[in-house]
Amino acid sequence: MARVSKKVSAAQREAENAPHRVWKTAIYARLSDFDDVLRNTESLEVQISYVKEYINHRDDLMLLDVFADKRCTGTNFDRPEFERLLKALQERKIDCIVVKDFSRLGRNFVETGQYLEQMFPLFGVRFIAINDNYDSLNSQSRDGMLVPIKSMINEMYSKDLSQKIQSCFRSKEARGEIYTPVPFGYKKDQKNHLVLDEEVSDVVVRIFLWKKSGMKEREIAKKLSAQGIQTPFTRRCQLGYLKNTLRVKDPAWQPAFVTKVLENPIYTGTMVYNRIAYDETYRKIGQNPRESWRMVPDSHPAIISWELFDEVSALREAEQEVREERKTWCKQRRKNNPNIFKGRIFCKKCGEKLVCHWQSDGALYFYCASCHVSISEKDLWNGINKELHQRMEEHRDLQKLVRKSSGKSKLQSKEIATKREIEQASGNIVRLESKKRSGYEQYVLGKLSKEKFLELKQGVENEIVLLKQTKSEREKELAVVQEELQQKKQIAGNTEVLLTVDNLLQYVKKIEVDRRKITYTEFVF
């Protein structure tokens, strides 16, 4: 085990010597899949309740938060709730951790020791393992051999437990037992063997036949919902395999439910193990290749044939290839054709910017998620073109537009007025600088006292700061006005307006879209 530094020891001693201290306490609980299989009594709820009762009988502990990792192995510390706990420690929100026993913290000898002997003392954190009678505030327990011995035992136990679990699973597999959720279309008997669910098994057949005929998963889901067929979740609740029956109020078939049925070879009467791939935290990340599957044929009644399953699987793989090709094509199209309307198109009702969406066929749509307003790129261009022609019709022809743009306008008047303000501010700054120099000369010649000079100087400098700020603001306003005037001059100099991507958008300032897909375009002229 690593040796505790002097800095760490000092932090720990400070924590120990604090008189009548009340510790900001957090509970940490952890449950792995192995714990869940072998010890049903070792639930997170049981752990948390046990630790809470301990804290309630302690005057020096104040419970602030609970951190619980479910389905997380103890052999590494890559756990979401444990990471949240570490963040709370670093932010000094927590300074005491209580666990049921050492194994809940971790079963890795080295890493557990690093946390107990380095990190926790570094932050002045008190650590309590109730069943192991360990409290880091007690120097005798901290300096003894209890921690390393316990950590080594927990690591050895974890490895042994893993082997036992794997052996248990292999025995179940050999007997054709199911230890995963019961699939839709089946029930399980008292020996954990699958039997047909006569009420819904024919639905599985229909799903495969509909898919074989060319129907999409979304179409199949809509058809099943229209026929009032129970969803897999609803059916499992009805059979008593799920306790919480209030999770879904108005159940409806989703494409994902259909996909889960279509991709499962269990309906061929073959029990298949190791089909699903998981990461280190037991989260599903995909499907293993078929050659790595462990299969037990004829373990239960078949609903469909292998021929039908393979035919549907081949069809789904072909569809997936098409989707990937479309995805690649759309990605390339987005790269070559960026969203030219970005920052210009808004929802007329709520004023929010519309979001662009590329469909699988490469078509570009714009939509507002709040108001359900949408418009295609084609309709958008048509709307802009229509409004531009209406604007041109108002001016009759471009020559009239030229004459209107060439005359004295509000923008030109604003330009002149802004220039005048800038000139006045510049003149006033020069005048005040001269006034400050004159005051200094009078002070040097003895005609002005030091106090009067400093007062004069401070007042002049404050005025100069305000004038410089005003001048800067007016210069920015002038730049905007001159840019708009330049745009008008460019438009006025054209003999015709070409409705193309290259030059139309430079005249478009803002586009609004309503539910009727009508555009309201604000042009720069």
CA distance 112 to 76: 9
Nearest Cα neighbor of 164 from 281, 291, 39 is 39
Instruction: Fold for 186-315, please state it.
Output: Hect, E3 ligase catalytic domain fold (3.90.1750)
Each residue of 317-328: b (16+ CB within 10 Å) or e?
A: eeeeeeeeeeee
Strand 364-368 and strand 355-358: the pairing is antiparallel
CA distance 512 to 303: 55
Are 352 and 368 contacting, i.e. CB atoms less than 8 angstroms apart?
yes
Strand 284-287 and strand 355-358: the pairing is unpaired
At 472, give phi and psi (nearest 5°). Answer: -60, -40
Task: Tell me the one-letter amino acid at 286.
Answer: G
Q: Where are the domains of the chain?
A: 6-161, 186-315
Long-range contacts of 383-388 (CB under 8 A, 24+ apart): 383/513, 383/517, 383/518, 383/519, 383/521, 384/499, 384/504, 384/508, 384/511, 384/519, 384/521, 385/499, 386/519, 387/519, 387/520, 387/521, 388/497, 388/499, 388/504, 388/507, 388/521, 388/523
Instruction: Give the DSSP letter string of 71-134.
Output: S--SSS---HHHHHHHHHHHTTS--EEEESSHHHH-S-HHHHHHIIIIIHHHTT-EEEETTTTE
Angle at 374 between CA 372 and CA 380, to 5 degrees: 155
Are 265 and 305 contacting, i.e. CB atoms less than 8 angstroms apart?
no
According to the model, what pLDDT value does residue 490 have?
60
Strand 126-129 and strand 96-99: the pairing is parallel
Beta bridge partners of 194: 188
Nearest Cα neighbor of 248 from 239, 259, 237 is 237
**Where is 509: in which H helix or E strand?**
strand 508-513
Q: 224: how many CB neighbours lie within 10 A of its CB?
A: 21
According to the model, what pLDDT value does residue 206 have?
94
N residues, the chain: 525
According to the model, what pLDDT value does residue 408 have?
47
Q: pLDDT in tens for each of the 525 residues of the chain?
A: 444 444 444 545 555 555 568 999 999 998 875 554 444 445 788 889 889 999 998 889 999 999 998 877 756 677 889 889 989 988 889 999 999 888 788 766 567 777 887 788 888 899 998 887 888 887 554 444 455 545 454 555 555 545 555 555 555 655 667 667 888 989 888 777 788 888 988 999 999 999 999 899 999 999 999 998 988 888 888 888 776 555 555 578 999 899 999 988 889 988 877 777 766 555 667 777 877 777 778 888 899 999 999 999 889 888 888 778 777 776 776 666 666 677 778 888 888 888 877 765 556 788 887 777 888 877 887 777 777 777 666 655 555 554 554 444 567 778 878 888 888 888 888 888 888 888 877 877 777 888 888 888 888 888 888 888 888 898 888 888 888 777 666 655 443 444 444 455 666 777 888 876 666 666 655
CA distance 497 to 178: 72
Region at 511 (left for phi over 0; alpha for psi -120 to 50; beta for the rest): beta
User: DSSP state, 230?
Assistant: P
Question: What interhelical angle do 201-212 and 306-336 show, nearest 10?
Answer: 50
Rounded (to 5) percent helix, strand, coil in the chain: 55, 15, 30
At 509, give phi and psi (nearest 5°). Answer: -95, -40
According to the model, what pLDDT value does residue 6 have?
43
Nearest Cα neighbor of 401 from 335, 468, 491 is 491
CA distance 465 to 339: 44
Instruction: Give the DSSP letter string of 234-268.
Output: HHHHHHTS-S---S-SS----HHHHHHHHT-GGGG
Residue linked to tokens 């709520």: 350
CA distance 256 to 267: 17
Are 182 and 188 contacting, i.e. CB atoms less than 8 angstroms apart?
yes
Biggest CA-to-CA distance, the chain? 115
Instruction: Fold for 6-161, please state it.
Output: Rossmann fold (3.40.50)
C-alpha dihedral, 373 to 377 to 381 to 383, nearest 10°: -20
User: DSSP state, 353?
Assistant: B
